[in-house]
């Protein structure tokens, strides 16, 4: 499948590399053509390098691996290219302006996932994977047990396709939380994630949802 990856950081590199490994035609997009991280990705993985707009046009599915504070601006700038496409939103609305640990730039009665869906009404936004670090996103077997990843979105077929990709990454426990407003749940999990990271001294963890037998 043709897949676009927007963002060149740790998350974009992990997602893009895994998708290439799984046989997809991946184009990673950066702000500027010739960006060193995108060229490095192409050289290392055999994927393609492009701009944000080129990667958005290339993908039948597009992954938002941008920083939360720039995601909405970049996505709306390439908006038309995303019409009708599945937009997988992995970003977190972290606000470091008040120091560490970061607060959220949007929370409680709204979420970045909803803002992106409102900003791109033609896209089929699915929020997922924002609750684990990049290594676990694409290799959940790093962590023992039936730990969980969540999906939120208004479009059920889009969620189904994203769940197929997640299964390809190795995820066994995928919990559909509901429509895009349910993205508030996993986004507001981040403050607990950050405190756990501090308490455990590692980001190599995830939560499992244990139910009564």
Q: CA 158, 161, 166, 170: dihedral to nearest 10 degrees? A: 160
Task: Work out whether 163 is an interface residue with a copy of itself (CB under 8 A).
Answer: no
Task: Work out whether 174 is an interface residue with a copy of itself (CB under 8 A).
Answer: no
Under rule CB under 8 A, how many of the chain's residues touch a copy of itself? 42
Task: Work out whether 188 is an interface residue with a copy of itself (CB under 8 A).
Answer: yes
Query: 189 CB contacts (<8 Å, ≥6 apart)?
Result: 131
Q: For a copy of itself, which residue of 21, 107, 155, 161 counts as binding (CB under 8 A)?
A: 107
Q: CA 72, 147, 166, 176: dihedral to nearest 10 degrees? A: -70
Residue with tokens 């996505």: 75
Centroid of chain to Cα 106: 17
d(CA 124, CA 25): 20
Query: x/- binding map, residues 108-147, to a copy of itself, per CB under 8 A?
Result: xx--------------------------------xxxx-x
DSSP code at position 140 = G
Subset of residues 191 to 210 that bind a copy of itself, contact rule: CB under 8 A: 191-196, 198-200, 202, 204-210
Stretch that binds a copy of itself, among 8-16, 23-31, 117-125, 171-179 (CB under 8 A): 171-179
User: Which residues contribute to the site for a copy of itself (CB under 8 A)?
Assistant: 98, 103-104, 107-109, 142-145, 147, 150, 175-178, 182, 184-186, 188-189, 191-196, 198-200, 202, 204-213
């Amino acid at each position: 499948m043709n897949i676009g990856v927007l963002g060149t950081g740790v998350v974009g590199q992990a997602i893009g590399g895994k998708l290439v490994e799984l046989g997809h035609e991946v184009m990673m997009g950066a702000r500027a053509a010739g960006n060193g991280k995108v060229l490095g990705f192409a050289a290392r993985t055999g994927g393609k390098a492009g701009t944000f707009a080129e990667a958005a046009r290339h993908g039948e599915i597009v992954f938002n691996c941008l920083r939360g504070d720039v995601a909405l601006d970049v996505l709306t700038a390439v908006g038309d290219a995303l019409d009708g496409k599945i937009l997988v939103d992995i970003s977190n609305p972290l606000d470091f302006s008040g120091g560490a640990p970061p607060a959220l730039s949007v929370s409680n009665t709204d979420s970045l996932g909803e803002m992106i869906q409102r900003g791109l009404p033609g896209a089929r936004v699915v929020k997922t994977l924002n609750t684990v670090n990049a290594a676990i996103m694409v290799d959940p077997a790093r962590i023992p047990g039936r730990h969980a990843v969540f999906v939120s979105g208004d479009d059920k077929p889009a969620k189904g396709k994203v769940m197929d990709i997640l299964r390809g990454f190795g995820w066994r426990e995928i919990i559909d939380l509901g429509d895009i407003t349910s993205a508030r749940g996993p986004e507001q999990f981040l403050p607990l994630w950050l405190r756990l990271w501090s308490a455990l001294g590692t980001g190599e963890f995830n939560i499992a949802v244990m139910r009564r037998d």
